[in-house]
Amino acid sequence: AKPMDLPVFGSSGEAHRIRRLRSLGGMPAALEEIWLDGSRAETVAIEELSDSLYLYYRKALGIWISRAEDRVGVGQVPGWSLPEFGLAPGAAAGFIERTGWTQDGASAEYSRTWFDHGVARYVARLR
């Protein structure tokens, strides 16, 4: 079930949660928590996922994120953080919330990213 603290996205009351530690140049840089609306896939098998979730969405699910909105600020590292991340749970970190919409205009994904500002910077590119 989608937690109550998530914004409204998608049409299902359930979602698939993906948590991962991302690296830049071999250094742990960000913790990600991605929620894919349950109406988009019955199951998500970890062995089918790659570094590019958007590639997985397109190839395995037939959807692509055509539009996204990011909100950037500062947040507290979550309690499920890994020691490898380098910032302790509760520490201040760069924080990004993203809502993604698919090619059909429906919101299908919500994510939260905590990043170590000493390792990574937020970069937005418009194409």
Whole-model pTM?
Answer: 0.92
pLDDT at 126: 66
Residue spans of the chain under pLDDT 70: 126-127
Check residue 36 and give its pLDDT. Answer: 97
Domains and CATH numbers, the chain: 17-115 (3.40.1410.10)
pLDDT at 127: 63
- How does pLDDT run across 44-71, given as a tens digit for each residue? 988 888 889 999 999 999 999 999 999 9
Query: What's the chain's average pLDDT?
Result: 94
What are the respective helix, strand and coil percentages of the chain, to the nearest 5? 15, 40, 45
Nearest-5° angle of CA 17, CA 102, CA 74? Answer: 55
CA angle 33, 37, 39 (to 5 degrees): 155
